[in-house]
Amino acid sequence: MRSGGLALALLLLGGATQAATLIHAGRVIDGVSAAAKNNQTVVVDAGKIVAIEPGYREPAAGDRVIDLRQGTLLPGLFDMHVHLTSEHSKHSEIDDYKLNEADVAIDGVVYAERTLLAGFTTVRDLGDEYRASIPLRNAINSGKVPGPRIVAAGKSIASTGGHADPTNGWARKFQADPGPEDGVINSVEDARKAVRQRYKDGSDTIKITATGGVLSIAKNGSNPQMTEEEIHAVVMTARDYGFKVAAHAHGAEGIKRAVRGGVDTIEHGTFMDDECIKLMKERGTFYVSTISAGEWVFRQAQDPDYFSPLVRPKALQVGPQIQATFTKAYKAGVKILFGTDTGVSKHGDNAHEFKLMVDGGMPPMEAIRAATSAPAKFLDLDDKVGSISVGKLGELVGVPGNPLEDITVMERVVFVMKDNTVYKAP
Ligand SMILES: [Zn+2]
């Protein structure tokens, strides 16, 4: 359902009665306030929120009414860790040899729409193939395809044999020795060049893999894979271009090097110890916990044939640990942003992370803030999105019932609005 064209047509006709969208919301969670407000009308006109009023305003001629009186209206959601151009399956390892750029690009279009319809209007894409998240971002921004706003890292940066070395597991006859352009660094010089290449590629942010990871075809899922000097060189170069840096890190030593090296977010953080927590609090480093990915790999690993023999033991070990780490980090006061690593788990299931966060001890309202106003501020987008207030963009999501009582309603989004377009209506 795309009403953007119609709204634009009405605007061009110069009519005094331009159609607004009136959302009658039984409850509004605005992304910043401590409490929800009941029985509100939120008015969106020409893509912006122009009024928030108590009660249900009567529509003027031509206005569209969204009846969410049985539900809750929230700001469009943020997922700070996705991979929009892929989705893991039993065939992923062999697909790597078979897929071309166009396959990956088309998959990205499908997954982007699925993500938007699940209520996620902004995502950070932390690593793709063929830099496909960048043209996808551009196509969404220009209105060619529906999808969330993408803050794109492009190709992740790793070291040789490291978690994001794209040639892991290849037979030696392929003679693969990728360098900074393909996201593989082995020195401070390489680190600088890799960041500058991402600037040239059109990336918005930088992703490094500071330790081993679960799904790479490699034995170790948590060892440090970059020196602190290399990480620091990435971070210092990134600053020259206005990039923030996200570090994939499971093991404690790699987490510490990344935090001391100056990264902005730690992704997964699985084997975070007390010293990691202390350092992150001192430095103000954010934690993007991706409990969904841990749960998903653990579940798949119950099938002895799902993963390759190198991957399965890592999945069994990392899975349950992330939930425990989340609880520990939250209680200790580490700053947490909502992120799922979707693309490991299925696109469109992103909101399941809310339940895992609440199960991990975070109150529902805080989990919602970690997916709205907090990431908007982190990404310097809080002048436009991340909360429901007059003047912000009309990027809005509706769920049935009350997420403060049952957080799983976040998994059943019934209303999505972005770009002055209603993509899903109750
Ligand atoms: Zn990831």
Cα(139) to centroid of ligand 1, in Å? Answer: 22
Can you list the positions of beta strands (E) in 142-259?
149-152, 206-209, 245-249
Cα(81) to centroid of ligand 1, in Å? Answer: 6
What is the pairing mode between strands 206-209 and 396-400? unpaired
Q: What is the mean pLDDT of the chain?
A: 94
Statement: residue 9 has pLDDT above 90: no
Cα(225) to centroid of ligand 1, in Å? Answer: 16
Statement: residue 169 has pLDDT above 80: yes
How far apart are the C-alpha atoms of 16 and 12, rounded to whole Å? 11
Cα(206) to centroid of ligand 1, in Å? Answer: 13
Instruction: Name, in order, each residue with C-beta under 8 angstroms of 289's C-beta and a sequence gap of 6 or more.
Output: 268, 269, 322, 325, 326, 329, 336, 339, 357
Percent of the residues in the chain that have a pLDDT greater than 90, as a whole number: 86
Residue range 3-10: mean pLDDT, rounded: 48
Cα(278) to centroid of ligand 1, in Å? Answer: 24
How far apart are the C-alpha atoms of 426 and 418, rounded to whole Å? 15
Cα(338) to centroid of ligand 1, in Å? Answer: 13
Cα(272) to centroid of ligand 1, in Å? Answer: 17
Q: Number of helices (H) and strands (E), helices first, in the chain? A: 13, 15
Q: What is the pLDDT of residues 129-155, one digit of tens each?
A: 999 999 999 999 999 999 999 999 999
Cα(374) to centroid of ligand 1, in Å? Answer: 20
Q: What is the pLDDT of residues 299-324, one digit of tens each?
A: 999 999 999 888 999 899 888 899 99
Statement: residue 96 has pLDDT above 90: no
Cα(9) to centroid of ligand 1, in Å? Answer: 41
Percent of the residues in the chain that have a pLDDT greater than 70, as a whole number: 96
Task: Please report, for residues 155, 266, 371, the alpha-carbon distance to residue 289 in angstroms, rounded to integers and kept in the order given.
Answer: 21, 8, 12
How far apart are the C-alpha atoms of 335 and 148, rounded to whole Å? 24
Cα(267) to centroid of ligand 1, in Å? Answer: 8
* Closest by Cα among 310, 289, 311 to 361: 289
- How far does the chain reach from its first CA to its final CA, in angstroms? 12
How far apart are the C-alpha atoms of 295 and 285, rounded to whole Å? 24
Statement: residue 3 has pLDDT above 80: no
Residue range 52-65: mean pLDDT, rounded: 97
Q: What is the pLDDT of residues 362-382, one digit of tens each?
A: 999 999 999 999 999 999 999
Ligand 1 ion: nearby residues, β-carbon < 5 Å: 341
Least confident segment among 35-49, 217-231, 340-354: 217-231
Q: What is the pLDDT of residues 204-251, one digit of tens each?
A: 999 999 999 988 888 888 999 999 999 999 999 999 999 999 999 999
SS3 339: coil
Residue range 56-64: mean pLDDT, rounded: 96
Query: What is the per-residue pLDDT for 18?
Result: 66
Cα(211) to centroid of ligand 1, in Å? Answer: 12
Q: What is the pLDDT of residues 278-291, one digit of tens each?
A: 999 999 999 999 99
Number of other CB atoms surrounding residue 266 within 10 Å: 29
Cα(70) to centroid of ligand 1, in Å? Answer: 36
